[in-house]
Amino acid sequence: MDWGLISNIGTKALMAGAGALLLYWTINAVKLVLSARGINPLIKQFFTQVASGQVDGAYLLTTKNYRSHVNRTQFIRFLAGLQLNKYRNLKSGRPRVEDDQIILTVKLKSEGNDELPLDFTFVKLDDQWRIDRIRKPAAA
């Protein structure tokens, strides 16, 4: 066989593989964006309720599973330990899908550029997102 022909076939195969990979990535990105709709308003509602002192309302945005493991007093202690009042800005990271859950790292930023990352795990119950877990990620 001619080396030019082999090179041409190899280039076409490489381009086809890259195109398939790009198509796969695009489809998964669109599925993720569509499935994650409603999470950002839930986060905003959660932090708005916490900031306005409506801790019970924020607690009710969690799942029954979360509430069975974290009682109201533990939830209040957790929030108090975060010292949320010193943070002013909120930045959402890229959502990650694991099983039927979406995990989103939210970074709270203070005016002094301190950051507090929190991992929120969300599950969809009856077509509504609920918080199933909140934790501080392990230090890197």
Q: What is the pLDDT of residues 28-52, one digit of tens each?
A: 666 656 666 778 889 999 999 999 9
Instruction: Show the domain range for 112.
Output: 38-135
With a cut of 90, say whether residue 1 has pLDDT above it: no
Distances (CA, A) of 64 to 79, 82, 113, 133, 140: 18, 23, 35, 11, 31
- Please count the residues of the chain: 140
At residue 140's C-alpha, the angle toward residues 100 and 119, to 5°, is 30
In the chain, the amino acid numbered 111 is E
Is residue 140 situated within a structural domain? no
Do 79 and 125 fall into the same domain? yes
Among 22-26, 55-59, 95-99, 130-134, the range scoring the smallest mean pLDDT is: 22-26
Q: Minimal CA–CA distance to 131: which of 108, 102, 111, 107?
A: 102
pLDDT, average across residues 14-18: 82
pLDDT band for 66, please (50, 70, 90 cuts).
very high
Q: Minimal CA–CA distance to 88: which of 53, 47, 59?
A: 47
Do 29 and 56 fall into the same domain? no
With a cut of 60, say whether residue 13 has pLDDT above it: yes
CA–CA dist 22, 60 (Å, integer)? 40
Tell me what percent of the residues of the chain surpass a pLDDT of 90.
Answer: 44
Provide the token pair at 51.
Answer: 């900031």
Do 83 and 60 fall into the same domain? yes
Do 70 and 7 fall into the same domain? no
Is residue 122 situated within a structural domain? yes
Do 69 and 50 fall into the same domain? yes
pLDDT band for 70, please (50, 70, 90 cuts).
very high
Do 42 and 106 fall into the same domain? yes
